[in-house]
Structure formats: C-alpha cells, structure tokens
Amino acid sequence: LMSQKKFEEIKKANQAAAQKLVEEQFSSSSEEEGDEDLEGKQGKIVANTFITYTTQTDGDTRELERTKQYVNEAFQAGAMTCLICIASVKRNQAVWSCLGCFCIFHMPCIQKWAKDSQFLVSSLTDEDFGKRDYPWPCPKCRFEYKKSETPSRYYCYCGKVEDPPLDPWLVPHSCGQVCEREFKPPCGHKCLLLCHPGPCPPCPKMVTTTCYCKKAKPIPRRCSAKEWSCQQPCGRKLLCGQHKCENPCHAGSCQPCPRVSRQKCVCGKKIAERSCASPLWHCDQVCGQTLSCGNHTCEQVCHVGACGDCPRSGKRACPCQKSKFSLPCTEDVPTCGDSCDKVLECGIHRCSQRCHRGPCETCRQEVEKHCRCGKHTKRMPCHKPYLCETKCVKMRDCQKHQCRRKCCPGNCPPCDQNCGRTLGCRNHKCPSICHRGSCYPCPETVDVKCSCGSAKVTVPCGRERTTRPPKCKELCSQPSTCHHASREKHRCHFGPCPPCRQPCQRVLEKCGHLCPASCHDQALIKQAGRPQPTGPWEQLSEPAFIQAALPCPPCQVPIPVECLGKHEVSPLPCHSVGPYSCKRVCGRVLDCQNHTCMKECHKVTEVDGCTDKNKAGPECLECEEGCSRSRPLGCPHPCVLPCHPGECPPCVQMLRIKCHCKITSLYVECRKMTTAGVDEKNLLSCCKNQCPKELPCGHRCKEICHPGECPLNCTQKVKLRCPCKRIKKELQCNKVRENQISVECDTTCKELKRKASEVKEAEAKAALEEESRRRQAELEAFENRLKGRRKKNRKRDEVAVEPSLWQKYKYHLLAACGVVVVVLAWYIAQDAN
C-alpha cells in the first residue's frame, strides 16, 4: 500500500510536469512551425526564381548555390553580417557590396576602413605623405580598389538607383529593376534577374555549339555550359608524330603520348625504354671525343652537335689580365711579374702582390671605421666589419615596439612580432605581423549546426553566438537513456530529450505480465534530505528534483477469480489475486435444513462424495436457534428440540386453561387440546361446577360450567315491592322480568309519602333562611372593615348566628339513614333466598 501510494504521488507529479512541458513545447513548436512555414514560402519563391536555370538541357545547379545563398541571406533578418563591426545588416541601413567577393558592409564601416588603410600605407612608404594615390583592399577578399573608388554613395546592387527605397516586397537594398550586369566570364549576354545580391548566376541563354573536337553536330545548350564533349576519341596527332590522341573529346591541347618506346640518348651511346612524349634525353656519360687540337678530349656530358674548339687554343691572358701570350694548348700561361692590382673584397684597396694564380688575399690595411649606425669610430683591419653594441631605440612601423637591433643603420626592419590582438569575433587573435590601425576581420567562418549536425549554416566567426541554429528535419539520433531500444520519434533538438512516454513493457517478476505504465526509468522526484534554513533570514530554496528509476507499479491486468464462497467470479487486479471474500452472506443451507449460514463469504471445504454445492461445510456456522417451525393451531409452546429437520414431535406439556366460567384453572395436555374437536374442547374446558355467572336478572346461573351465554329461564323467587317500598310479595324472577306481575301502593303508602315531602320542604326552607342570615352577616362584616375599625374590636362587630336544626343534627341523621339502608338491603337479600 505504501509503494502504491508513493507511486501515485510521483505519477501525479510527473503528469503535472509533463503537462507543463507539453504546453511549453506546444507554444515553442507553434513558433517553430510558423518560422518553418515562412522559410518554406521563401524557399519556394527562390526555387521558382531559379527554376528556369535548371529545367532545360545541362542546367548545373551547383553554379547557382552561391547566388541562392546570398538571396536567402538577404531575405532572412540578421543573416547578413558586416565583417568590420560584426553586426547584422538591417534593411534600412546603407550598404556597400564588394565586386570581388560580393560581401556586404555598412557604408560608414567601409568608408572608415578605406580611409584608415590608405593612411597607414602612405604614412609608412610615402615621403610626400598623402600625395600619392594608394589602393585600399576589401576586408575579406583583399580585392584592391583605387582611392577614387572609395564608396561615397549608397547604390542598389546593380548600381542603377541611388538610395533605393525600402520596399517590403523586394529584396532588401534592391531597386527591383532588371540587373543587366555582364556575366563573368563575358559571353555577350547580360543578367536577367531583378537587382540581386551576390554574383550573377550562370548565363541561362541557349546557344547552338559543337563539341571540342568539332566532330558532333551542333546542338542547343546553355551559354554558361556551351563547351561540351561528345565523348568520342579525339584522334588528333600527338607531339611524338607517331600516335593519335585516344582520350575522349576534350578541351585544350592533348596530353603527352602515354606510350613507351626504345629511344637513343642525344650522344647515341645508350638505348632505353622511355615515354614516347619525350624522345630527347641525355645520358650521364662524358662525351670524350678528341678535340681539334688532337691533345685534349671533350669534357661535356652527352650533348648535341660538334664538340667545338679546344678551350686552351688562341691567345691567353696572364692571371692579372695585363699581359697576353700565344702558346700551344699543351703549355700553361706564365705570370707577367707585374703587380696584381685587383680590387680586393673590401672594394677600397687593391692587391699589392705580384701577378699570381688563385684568389687574392684578405685586405689587411688598418683604417678608421665608423659603425653601421654612425655613432662610434675605431681603427681596425679593413676586412673586418665594425658593429657597435648600441641598440636602436626607434619605433618600428607598428608604432608599438622599439627596433632594439644592435648598430642599426636607420632602416629599421618591419616589426617581426605577431599582432596578437583579439579580433572582433572575440574567438581568435590577429595572425598578422604587428601593424598599425584596425586589424583585418577574422577570415574564419563557423558552421552553426543543429544538434545532430545534419543541418548547418555558415556564418562569419563571432556571429555563432547570436545566430539561431538551423531547423533540422531529421529525427533525433540520441541514444535511449531508458531500457527501451529506441526513443520515440521526434525531431532533432538541443538539450535533453523529452521524457519517454512509451509503455514500460517490462516483464513483472511475480506474474509475468508486461508493465503497461509509461516509462518510469527517469522519473522526476523531489530530492529528500535537503538542508533546512538556519533562520528566518534565509529564504527557502525551490524544491530540487532528481531523476530516478521507479519500480513498476502493481500489475493491474484483470484476472477472473472466484470468491471463497463461490458466489461470483470477479476480475481482480493481478497484484491482488488471491482468496478473497465477496462480503456477501454465505447462504449455504445448514444441517437443520431450515436456516442458511449467516457468516460473511468464507472458505468452505467440500465433503467428498457430496454433489450439493449449496450444502454447508464444516467452516459454516452451527445452527443455535430453536425450532422455528409453525406450531399446531392453539399450541403456545415452542418445540422442545433445537432447530431440526422434519416434523416437530407432539407437544406433551400441560396447558393451563380456564374453565368456561373463568374461575377454575384446568391442566390439560397440549396435544389433547390441539387435536380435540369442538365438543371435546368444551368437555375438557368444563370444571364440573355450577356456573358462577349472573343472569340479567341478577341471580346465579343454575347450569353446570358451560360455554356461551347462560339461559334466561331464571326460576329464583324474588320479592317485589310497591313503589314506596312498604308492601312486598315473592314471585318467580322470569315472570317479574317479563313485567307479567306488579305491586301497587295503597292509601297508607300515599299518606307516608305526603308526610315525607312536607318534612323535605321544611328542611329546604330552613336551609334558605340560614343562607340569607349568613350572607347578611358577611355583608355587615365587610362594611365594618371598610370603616377602618381596629382589629381588637372586630369581635364586637361579628353577629352571633344561631345554627339551624339541620346543622346541629345532620351527622346524627346521616348515620341513622345509613343503618336503615343496610338493614333494608339485608332484608331484601334474605327475601330473595
């Protein structure tokens, strides 16, 4: 669980980082796509411009590359660079283009360059400073221009329009007119492109020409490629005069004959196999022929023609050349005896010896010599040079270093030290000899390449820092840093490759399935164990992320697995495959055959030979409930057995029931009661006693304990009285109930009733009088309280009220009436029995 949680956290962090990276790449890729679209459109325009140069016979695209490059650079912002200031040439700046290399410079830069170059040359070589017209060179190709050719006006590329206006639909610095410059080498035609930078392309005109050997028929060809070969043998006679040229039709003179033949040397003494192209050759032997004098032999090495006269014949001069003698060639010329008088090596004195053979001796006269710098003199032999030890302190032509040559005559040599100043490119140092003024621009060029090196653009040295690498359409070739054999296909780029999003596809050790998650060999995780700030003044550093390989996540391949209780088959993740509970109730039928196992889904051991898969196993619960089968109708007792299969045994418990009269409790076996019919139940519920129920007349039922209502034929004797209760008679109860017999009052009864009514009226009247007196007394007492009498005199104000007879004797009368009622009730009861 911890590893799964950690994996999920890292996965979310990676997804957030990947989303951010994708958004950045999407925005940058959209910009790149826009740039690519623009470059594609420009490329199509340039291609359509030069398509007429390549669609017909023998169009050579290699000759157009230079022109195409200049045109492409003119379209691209920041592509053209001034080599003097190492800055971009903008569309609205005045420029000048060299006629030799067609390199473009800022107008102020080239003017300053020309002025400085002329100043330096004239200051070093011209005695009349500034009067002679010295040329100045192009900073790149060293093409020399006269002083009068120093640019002072801003012209378009073809030189027709001065200060060409800026037009976004034209090439920058172009006038938009036809170029009409003559082609180089001249062919009589003119350039037909619109005013453009760089050299004019090869002449596209069509002319009819024949081949070099003039054997083929004339055919139409490009003027720039009008010289062509028919590839047939040349056939012209070679210089050897014997063989013909066997090379294919070619331009210019034929090559020397390549064949070999045996040839004699000039003197004819040796024969050797030599190239047919060089028939004249000299051997290394001396001629040795006797000269005309007959005394000497020719000492020349193998030569042509006669040997000539003997070199010792005729008049010969003595060694000093003052006297001449005519002698035979066999005799040497003697010395004349006069002084030699030849000028010695010093060039001042002459030789004082007599005429002699061989070189003159060294001049030994002592003279006073000046040193070469003219600062010191010394007497010394004439043949010895005199150089003092004084070092020259003049500045050399670089105006930076002293001459420091000993005894310098004043013509100090140019500075022989290297300049060593850092050029404008900031990458190289000036390789020239130490000089005055600005150094020449760096002649080096740098290839700005893409990451894989397939695409490149050549820029002047120093511009590689600000030049964007070219867009490369090749696929990235960096090797994979994860376990995959190759990366996802994406274009060449700088920096690290994007994270691998291929499926991991590693074989998991536990299950053998392939990991379907994205590659996680280089996942970004937050670095742990970073130092905490020591105080509140230190700011918390941003969290650092490191790349680390994460373990494969748990396998999520769904595997169908049956639960422990075999209720269902569910697909579970492979990493969690195993016995599991489906959380349902087991539901297997217990041994009681009435209930099912209520445990949560669990393992059940199958009993051998049992085919019922719904039968409970030993692991299931044992039924601990009582028997829940329905009891027979009327049996209130539960089954005495625990939950069991089959029918319950008959109930043998004693059932306590009330008899029909509800007074006596009877004990009867439950099975007898539940199995008996209606008559038997009535018999079992009878207590054999008289029914205690009262009839509506108030007498007890005379029947034995019975169910239902009691019969209404009461034969009990009852006493019947007159309305005043004075006269009584005994009669049957049922007849009295049926109002068949009644007792009326006589005159005596009426008299007693009249007297009793009189007594009641007297009592009522006395009660009214007593009530009026009481109210009068209360009224007087209230009036006395209103008059403010004192409390001690209140008793005087009270009126003595005499109680009435009823108030005096009411308790005695009530007691007497109660006794009379009791006696009357007892008497009535006795009459009824």
Cis peptide before 185 (omega within 30 of 0): yes
Average pLDDT, the chain: 80
- With a cut of 80, say whether residue 656 has pLDDT above it: yes
Q: What percent of the chain has pLDDT over 70?
A: 86
Cβ atoms of 67 and 196 closer than 8 Å: yes
Comparing 537 with 207, which gets the higher pLDDT?
Answer: 207
Spatial separation of the C-alpha atoms in residues 509 and 555, rounded to whole Å: 10
43 pLDDT band, cuts 50/70/90, is low
Task: Compute how many other C-beta atoms are within 10 angstroms of the C-beta atom of residue 751.
Answer: 10
Mean pLDDT of all residues in 489-513: 87
pTM of the entire structure?
0.42
| Nearest C-alpha neighbor of 167 from the set 177, 159, 158 | 177
- With a cut of 70, say whether residue 88 has pLDDT above it: yes
Mean pLDDT of all residues in 538-546: 67
Mean pLDDT of all residues in 638-647: 84
Mean pLDDT of all residues in 83-101: 86
| Nearest C-alpha neighbor of 434 from the set 405, 395, 403, 400 | 400
423 pLDDT band, cuts 50/70/90, is confident
pLDDT in tens, 163-190: 998 888 888 888 989 988 888 888 888 8
Structure tokens at 582: 């489906």
pLDDT in tens, 565-583: 888 888 888 888 888 888 8
Lowest mean pLDDT across 263-277, 503-517, 766-780: 263-277
Q: What are phi and psi of 784, to 5 degrees?
A: -60, -40
**190 DSSP β-pair partners:** 182
Spatial separation of the C-alpha atoms in residues 235 and 246, rounded to whole Å: 6
Cβ atoms of 721 and 832 closer than 8 Å: no
Which H or E element spans position 274?
Answer: strand 271-275
Comparing 352 with 801, which gets the higher pLDDT?
Answer: 352
Mean pLDDT of all residues in 149-155: 89
For the chain, the distance separating the N- and C-terminal CA atoms, rounded to the nearest angstrom, is 98
pLDDT in tens, 309-348: 887 777 888 888 888 888 788 787 888 888 888 888 888 8
